[in-house]
Amino acid sequence: MSSESPPRTVLDLTAMKASGRKIVMLTCYDAIFARLIAPEVDVLLVGDSVNQVVAGHTTTLSATLEQLIYHTRAVRRGAPNSLVLVDLPFLSYQVSVEDAIRNAGRVLQKTGAQGVKLEGGRHVVATVRALVERGIPVMGHLGLTPQSVHALGGHRIQGRETGAPERMRNDARELEDAGAFGLVLELVPAGLARRISETLRIPTIGIGAGAGCDGQVLVLHDMLGLNETFSPRFLKRFASLAGTVRDAARGYAKEVRAGTYPDDQHSFE
């Protein structure tokens, strides 16, 4: 178990950056995993990646607000004292500021999460400001923004094109000025991510963005080695559970077919 209690509010993340403490964030979609990992991490993120990891879709685009609410409520039950953030899914905040306020407010109201995350730069600044003004904490997301995967031409490193680094730095500053309490940087060159992190007061959380960010996030199932088909360069598997699951299923099936399970020890008189 971590020697330090995880932060309980979004303000604690800013304090962590100021003191030089790295922020540990993992995605999570259910109560059991939330209960297991909550003591070790600072933030649990219920990502719209659930649409791919759990539901089997190829993108996050068909994730729904109800889907995110359902999984966030499960995570909250498993980790009642943790800092929980939740992604706003595609089209829940892009249509209008009014839609964004209504949907983000509903997420917090129904789930007990302490903040929402949304993707985009300058074009979502007005939305971020409106949410923050209404007491809804917002984390931004720059670089590879999965809800724009088709416009970006796939899952590619962002920020290498002419003028792109300066645009990303400007977007980061504008999101901070609008009141965002933090910023995810995804698939961004390490040097650019470090420079952005050094110029912001708010913390940055990297995924495929190098060690210069103020914290890191991974998808839990990827980190545990459950998803063997996903092997990007930035991913380090801290376990190899896919093989463990297969072995367990094989052992169970063997004993059931042989009639050795359940035995007397696992039966009732």
Q: Which is catalytic among the residues 40, 66, 119, 186? A: 186
d(CA 117, CA 46): 10
Alpha-carbon torsion (58, 59, 64, 69), positive or negative: positive
Tokens matching residue 133: 């003004």
How far apart are alpha carbons 49 and 41 in whole angstroms?
A: 19
Q: Count CB neighbours of 95 within 10 A.
A: 10
Q: Residues 215, 11, 3, 84: is their CA dihedral positive or negative?
A: negative
Query: What b/e sequence results for 188-223 when a residue is b if at least 16 CB atoms lie within 10 Å of its CB, and e otherwise?
Result: bbbebbbbbbeebebbbbbbbbbebbbbbbbbbbbb
**Is 255 an annotated catalytic residue?**
no
Q: Phi, psi at residue 30, to the nearest 5°?
A: -150, 170
In 3D space, the residue among 110, 52, 103, 64 whose CA is nearest the CA of residue 84 turns out to be 110
* Burial class (CB within 10 angstroms; exposed 0-12, middle 13-18, buried 19+) of 91: middle
Residues with active-site annotation: 186
